[in-house]
Structure 1
Amino acid sequence: MATTAPPPATPNDLLGVTKTLDLLAPRWSVWVLMTISSQPLRYAEVKPRLPWLADGQLHPRLRHLTNAGMVERTEYAPRHVTYGLTSRGAALLPVLTVIASWGDAYLEKDLVANKHTGEMEPERIAPAQNIDDTVALLAPRHATPILFSLQARGTATAKTLATEAMPGYGLTAVYKPLERLVADGLVTASGTGGYQLTASGRALAPVFQAISAWASAPTAEADARRPGRSGAAPSQTRSGPWATTPTRLPAPAVPVVPAAGPALTTTPPAGTAWKSGDLFSHQIPARPFSPAGGPRR
């Protein structure tokens, strides 16, 4: 039975969460952020760390993140350009850790044989992929408003959800996003004509809280540049509109991605760099995974 309690989250909370999810939603954007999290890198240094991305895929991600204020593009010389996180981008890293932890705990995993024991165990998933897959569940239009409404109410009918989460739409419009959330394992039918969150859906509360806190934090007016490898002062800094400047370095050979790395289980303080083992904890598999229990990737 639906309750009538008003949602505790404000419209600004919901708006901040949805905008942040839209920012992270373009595939591989999270991987780019995490790749340059430890220090500014040149294009030719970013590229081998993301070998599956073609030039036509990497440039748009860097442009998107630069225009969004997450990445700063700095020219040290006409053909010497680096990309590093702004203070706003660095402040997002702990939020990404929260998202990665949820994905690791609740998203389905294929079973693979342990190469040492031969026993079947859940596949290890890179934190960046856990984030990507979690955002893919939450970013579609109306998904997060419906989840917000159910978190506030506990149980709600389709009519209530249509009115609260999709104002201006007819009742029938709510069923398609509801069906997708049910199929993804975040929402379940209550058996009394209503809908409620599953355990994994309820566990999204810390994720939404972390995103909302980051989205509502004031943006620094001046973003101090994080020191690069050379320590040289830039001749020109651009952190606004995108401008392409090719690197002088030839494209290096594609490196072998590390086979294993430490699991990411705790939230680092703001500005803490992601280790390469955290980012690339396994060879990147094809996506999406076939469902094997739990919310789908």
Structure 2
Amino acid sequence: MATTAPPSATPNDLLGVTKTLDLLAPRWSVWVLMTISSQPLRYAEFKPRLPWLADGQLHPRLRHLTNAGVVERTEYAPRHVTYGLTNRGVALLPVLAVIASWGDTYLEKELVADKRTGEMEPERIAPAQNIDDTVALLAPRHATPVLFSLQARGTATAKTLASEAMPGYGLTAVYKPLERLVDDGLVVASGAGGYQLTASGQGLVPVFQAISAWATDPSPESDVRRLRGQGAAPSQNRSGPWATTPTRLPAPVVPAASASRLALATTAPNGPAWQPGDLFSHQIPARPISPAGGPRR
């Protein structure tokens, strides 16, 4: 069983990753970021783009993202205020693309009939939903430290993971985070009391690298240069087990007539290639719980 110590850079990387996940974790934060990825908007202009958000939900998200330094509030007059991405926020867009790619590749999808051919194929999930669901997997307390430790070691016992990922806690405290990660398809028991990452857990390496690069480099411009062209593996029709996310209500269905007005495309020179309609131009169906024993998004 491998016992190699984690690399010395891990603590700084881990701190940056966990803080960034905390930034993205509040529900709808990613959707707000992507909504202003192409241009600043006035408060009232969010309504037609995120019609299911009440005023009481939007304002805390904007304040949270503004305090984090990724959204800028510009007041032109008492009743003329816009919200747009800061340079730091623009540098975050390629990171979101990496997260979305991982979610599209590894998160479970329902099979739906292709309207043209009638053949069953995995449903298309909006990038914002893929990011939201991926962050929901990684943001719970202790999840990312456990994943970092397993990435460094390959295989580790619960005792080792408790001492490295949860210092100050007793051995029994590590079992609940481990159980959740196993249920989510990111970790698997390897026998003899050991644990290791699944293929989807290993696939998080570029995600953590992208987040860490953004979090630990104070220069947005160098973030963009470093992350350009970097992403997770392209989406594939997987026949193996999917990673899962905690049950979360999907975004309400947006009528087709309104959907065309909700299309967003990033015009930032080094941002990800969000295509028109990527955010929520398709119907986002409710995802029923899979049959007993099956994974679910």
Settle same-fold status: TM greater than 0.5: yes
Matches of 1:294 and 1:28, distance apart in 2: 27
In the alignment, which residue of structure 2 is the partner of 1:60? Answer: 60
| 1:134-283 superposed matches below 5 A | 134-218=134-218, 256-258=258-260, 270-271=270-271, 274-283=274-283
- Listed one character per residue, the Cα deviations across residues 59-112 of structure 1 (whole Å, up to 9, x for unaligned) are 111111111111101111111111100000000000000000000000000111
> Against the structure 1 CA distance between its residues 73 and 184, is the aligned structure 2 distance closer, same or farther, given a 3 Å change threshold?
same
- Listed one character per residue, the Cα deviations across residues 123-168 of structure 1 (whole Å, up to 9, x for unaligned) are 1000000000000000000000000000000000000000110000
- Listed one character per residue, the Cα deviations across residues 227-260 of structure 1 (whole Å, up to 9, x for unaligned) are xxxxxxxxxxxxxxxxxxxxxxxxxx99612499
Gaps of 5+ in 1: 221-252
Matched residue SS, 2:191: coil
Bigger radius of gyration, 1 or 2? 1
In the alignment, which residue of structure 2 is the partner of 1:133? Answer: 133
In the alignment, which residue of structure 2 is the partner of 1:5? Answer: 4
**Does the 8 A contact of 2:3 with 2:156 survive in 1?**
no
**Does the 8 A contact of 2:158 with 2:174 survive in 1?**
yes
In the alignment, which residue of structure 1 is the partner of 2:94? Answer: 94
CA offset at residue 6 of structure 1?
Answer: 1.1
Matches of 1:123 and 1:259, distance apart in 2: 22
Gaps of 5+ in 2: 221-254
CA offset at residue 191 of structure 1?
Answer: 1.8
- Listed one character per residue, the Cα deviations across residues 17-62 of structure 1 (whole Å, up to 9, x for unaligned) are 0000000000110000000011111111112101111111111111
> Against the structure 1 CA distance between its residues 215 and 32, is the aligned structure 2 distance closer, same or farther, given a 3 Å change threshold?
same
Give aligned-pair identity as a percent: 83
> Against the structure 1 CA distance between its residues 136 and 153, is the aligned structure 2 distance closer, same or farther, given a 3 Å change threshold?
same
Number of residue equivalences: 259
Matched residue SS, 1:121: strand
Matches of 2:145 and 2:115, distance apart in 1: 43
Q: TM-score, normalised by structure 1?
A: 0.81
**Does the 8 A contact of 1:96 with 1:131 survive in 2?**
yes
In the alignment, which residue of structure 1 is the partner of 2:223? Answer: none
Matches of 2:256 and 2:107, distance apart in 1: 30
CA offset at residue 119 of structure 1?
Answer: 1.4
**Does the 8 A contact of 1:261 with 1:282 survive in 2?**
no
CA offset at residue 214 of structure 1?
Answer: 0.1
In the alignment, which residue of structure 2 is the partner of 1:229? Answer: none
Matched residue SS, 2:88: helix
Matches of 1:82 and 1:93, distance apart in 2: 19
In the alignment, which residue of structure 2 is the partner of 1:81? Answer: 81
* Aligned amino acid, residue 257 of structure 1: A
Matched residue SS, 2:3: coil
**Does the 8 A contact of 1:150 with 1:196 survive in 2?**
yes
Kindly report the root-mean-square deviation, in angstroms, between the aligned alpha carbons of the 2 structures.
2.6
Matches of 2:256 and 2:65, distance apart in 1: 24
**Does the 8 A contact of 1:74 with 1:83 survive in 2?**
yes
> Against the structure 1 CA distance between its residues 272 and 130, is the aligned structure 2 distance closer, same or farther, given a 3 Å change threshold?
closer
Q: TM-score, normalised by structure 2?
A: 0.81
Matched residue SS, 1:118: coil
